[in-house]
């Protein structure tokens, strides 16, 4: 649970601080030292900062916008033009969303608005140093590409960088937040983080916060003693205790009740927990990896997720790309699972015709790898022969948008390109949205940018069969 454990990772980082307020400079020095950065170079105005630039390379720069002789934006632009890999954190006393957006557009990694809590500063610094350390490694990474990484199959550039990121963050004990669409492999990523870490010999405990009823989730996480509530017939350890020394994967964390969030925050802050009905506390050492398909920033904004918990968990973000952005990995995965299921079912199927491959590459896979696995499994169960051809693929997969035209990397042959009628596109997009949101009309209509009643009307006019979505 110790979050300040990146000394070796950051000890060689070169940090530039551009700030005229001495008290803040002292604060930055102290926190950077806590993170293992020996001595940052400090400039107190634009002129001094510009003379320091050439002394790089810089890994991290903290830049105040309001400097005595000009704007920190100028320093940032010149710095990034010279050292594009430098992670920049912009700091401002002005409360302005515009400024944050402007900073992000200009290439800043993060934006801090004064006054800020020390905890927020530490998290920002650690994230920025982590990013800088990763981009250094990426630059120097010359090893062979791998098709496999723990449970992952995938050779694409995006997956190579995921593998590298996982290897890098495995050295740290800090919480990781895994983002990605449903079925994109978030649990697999959490497992890989665990397997690559020093905790690999200890348990990996996954908990799906969305699938456990509200009255049981507390007991599931923290445990209970006999008699704590009706039905508690015996003492029971919760997931935190079961994962002691290892990794706890909290899937769909955004679904956690707000009161349970408060308890979770306490456990993360203190490393101590109390089982339901127990007066004694227990110390646990758990690395937490969380995931959600929701935008957690939006959940914080609309008050369904605690901001303090968000910052506590959101130390290292990891975003898995959707399957449709992994190019030829689709075929790699399809072949792997075809072989696997053909063997299990005693079938001869050993590949896909070029037309079938083209369709697999064009389908947007809203259910990601899980959808691909289920598709291949069904194809194997229902068909025989040597090769999977077009006729064997489900119509859901065949009748999709022509993604090859949108993404030339997915193209197999010029002849495969077809123009899809707009009415068909609309129908497919509606089907995709309903599928993605488990037929929830409200969520699907929001995603489609139309009113729920409009979606109802369209479904009716299209004679939509919801069982076929």
Ligand X SMILES: Nc1ncnc2c1ncn2[C@@H]1O[C@H](COP(=O)(O)OP(=O)(O)OP(=O)(O)O)[C@@H](O)[C@H]1O
* Residues of the shown chain interacting with ligand X in the complex, contacts defined by CB under 6 A: 151-154, 180, 182-188, 251, 293, 333, 369-370, 373
- Whose Cβ is closer to ligand X: residue 330's or residue 404's? 330
Shortest distance in whole angstroms from residue 155 CB to ligand X: 10
Contact present, 390 and 355 (Cβ < 8 Å): yes
- Whose Cβ is closer to ligand X: residue 59's or residue 371's? 371
- Whose Cβ is closer to ligand X: residue 102's or residue 328's? 328
Shortest distance in whole angstroms from residue 156 CB to ligand X: 10
Shortest distance in whole angstroms from residue 35 CB to ligand X: 31
Shortest distance in whole angstroms from residue 337 CB to ligand X: 8
Burial class (CB in 10 A: 0-12, 13-18, 19+), 361: buried
Shortest distance in whole angstroms from residue 177 CB to ligand X: 13
H-run or E-run covering 176: strand 176-179
**CA 368/CA 180 separation, integer angstroms:** 10
**CA 30/CA 441 separation, integer angstroms:** 51
Contact present, 316 and 176 (Cβ < 8 Å): yes
- The pairing of strands 351-352 and 316-319 is unpaired
**CA 352/CA 360 separation, integer angstroms:** 9
- The pairing of strands 87-92 and 60-64 is parallel
Q: Is the peptide bond before 57 cis (omega within 30 degrees of 0)?
A: yes
| Chain position whose Cβ is nearest to ligand X | 185
- Whose Cβ is closer to ligand X: residue 381's or residue 425's? 381
Shortest distance in whole angstroms from residue 326 CB to ligand X: 8
- Whose Cβ is closer to ligand X: residue 19's or residue 187's? 187
Shortest distance in whole angstroms from residue 215 CB to ligand X: 22
- CA triple 360-362-364, angle to 5 deg: 95
- Whose Cβ is closer to ligand X: residue 159's or residue 448's? 159
Shortest distance in whole angstroms from residue 69 CB to ligand X: 50
Shortest distance in whole angstroms from residue 144 CB to ligand X: 18
H-run or E-run covering 160: helix 157-170
Contact present, 158 and 346 (Cβ < 8 Å): no
- The pairing of strands 148-149 and 152-153 is antiparallel
What is 315-367 written as a DSSP string? Answer: TEEEEPPPGGGSTTHHHHHHHHHHHHHHHHHT----EE-HHHHHHHHHS--TT
- Whose Cβ is closer to ligand X: residue 112's or residue 332's? 332
- Whose Cβ is closer to ligand X: residue 251's or residue 416's? 251
- Whose Cβ is closer to ligand X: residue 38's or residue 381's? 381
**CA 258/CA 364 separation, integer angstroms:** 35
Partner residues linked to 276 by β-bridges: 224
H-run or E-run covering 310: helix 307-313
């Amino acid at each position: 649970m110790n979050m300040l454990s990146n000394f070796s990772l950051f000890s060689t980082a070169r940090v530039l601080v551009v700030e005229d307020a001495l008290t803040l400079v002292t604060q930055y020095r102290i926190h950077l030292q806590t993170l293992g950065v020996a001595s940052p170079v400090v400039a107190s105005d634009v002129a001094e900062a510009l003379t320091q630039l050439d002394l790089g390379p810089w890994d991290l720069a903290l830049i105040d916008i309001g400097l005595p002789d000009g704007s920190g934006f100028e320093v940032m632009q010149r710095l990034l033009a010279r050292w594009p890999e430098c992670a920049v954190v912009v700091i401002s006393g002005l409360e302005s969303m515009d400024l944050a957006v402007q900073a992000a557009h200009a290439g800043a990694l993060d934006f801090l608005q004064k006054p800020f809590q020390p905890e927020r500063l530490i998290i920002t610094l650690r994230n920025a140093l982590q990013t800088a350390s990763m981009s250094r490694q990426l630059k120097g990474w010359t090893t062979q590409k791998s098709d496999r990484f723990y449970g992952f199959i995938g050779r694409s550039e995006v997956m190579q960088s995921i593998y590298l990121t996982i290897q890098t963050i495995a050295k740290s004990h800090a919480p990781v937040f895994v983002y990605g669409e449903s079925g994109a492999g978030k649990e697999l990523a959490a497992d890989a983080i665990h397997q690559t870490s020093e905790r690999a010999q200890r348990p990996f405990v996954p908990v799906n916060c969305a699938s456990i009823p509200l009255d049981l989730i507390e007991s599931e996480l923290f445990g209970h003693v006999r008699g704590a509530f009706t039905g508690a017939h015996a003492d029971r350890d919760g997931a935190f205790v079961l994962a002691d020394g290892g990794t706890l994967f909290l899937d769909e964390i955004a679904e956690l009740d707000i009161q349970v969030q408060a308890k979770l925050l306490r456990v993360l802050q203190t490393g101590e927990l109390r089982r339901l009905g127990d007066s004694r506390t227990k110390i646990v050492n758990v690395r937490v990896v969380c995931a959600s398909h929701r935008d957690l920033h939006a959940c914080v904004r609309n008050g369904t997720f605690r901001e303090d918990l968000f910052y506590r968990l959101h130390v290292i973000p990891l975003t898995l790309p959707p399957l449709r952005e992994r190019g030829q990995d689709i075929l790699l995965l399809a072949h792997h699972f075809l072989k696997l299921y053909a063997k299990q079912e005693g079938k001869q199927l050993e590949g896909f015709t070029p037309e079938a491959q083209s369709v697999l590459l064009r389908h947007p896979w809203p259910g990601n790898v899980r959808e691909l696995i289920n598709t291949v499994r069904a194809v194997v169960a229902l068909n025989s022969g040597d090769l999977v051809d077009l006729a064997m693929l489900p119509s859901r997969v065949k009748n999709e948008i022509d993604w090859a035209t949108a993404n030339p990397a997915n193209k197999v042959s010029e002849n495969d390109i077809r123009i899809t009628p707009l009415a068909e596109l609309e129908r497919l997009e509606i089907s995709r949205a309903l599928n993605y949101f488990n037929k929830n009309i409200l969520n699907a209509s929001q995603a489609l940018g139309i009113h729920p009643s409009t979606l109802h009307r369209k479904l009716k006019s299209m004679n939509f069969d919801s069982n076929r979505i």
